[in-house]
Amino acid sequence: DAGVTQSPTHLIKTRGQQVTLRCSPKSGHDTVSWYQQALGQGPQFIFQYYEEEERQRGNFPDRFSGHQFPNYSSELNVNALLLGDSALYLCASSRIQGAPGNTIYFGEGSWLTVV
């Protein structure tokens, strides 16, 4: 049983560009959340998707957007990249049924460097 998978693992972008990160949730999971982790900090919640809609959002600007597909996979898009967007981007998945209190699993993340 594959866990949460993310792609790409590493990428480098230039300021002002746009980036798309991808996530496939753990089998049987229908809820996907995205987190940003800057160097030396704990992960920060960006937003959460369920039934293809954004359900919760953290304190991130509109440059950060997402999408969830019918197969529960998800994308994180960041527009107009800034140097400060350089971070590890983490995807987490869980099942909505029984929430809160369900086990939440993380992927290994996508390292984004903005130059």
The residues binding other proteins (CB under 8 A) are 4, 31, 33, 35, 41-45, 48, 50, 55-56, 58, 88, 90, 92, 94, 96, 99-109, 111
Alpha carbon distance 52, 57 (integer Å): 14
Both tokens of residue 47? 């937003």
User: Of 3 and 75, which CB lies nearer to other proteins in the complex structure?
Assistant: 3
* Minimum distance of other proteins from residue 43's CB (angstroms): 5
User: Of 4 and 81, which CB lies nearer to other proteins in the complex structure?
Assistant: 4
Strand runs labelled E in 14-104:
19-24, 31-37, 44-50, 53-57, 64-68, 74-78, 87-94
* Minimum distance of other proteins from residue 16's CB (angstroms): 27
User: Of 79 and 111, which CB lies nearer to other proteins in the complex structure?
Assistant: 111
Alpha carbon distance 54, 88 (integer Å): 21
User: Of 17 and 41, which CB lies nearer to other proteins in the complex structure?
Assistant: 41
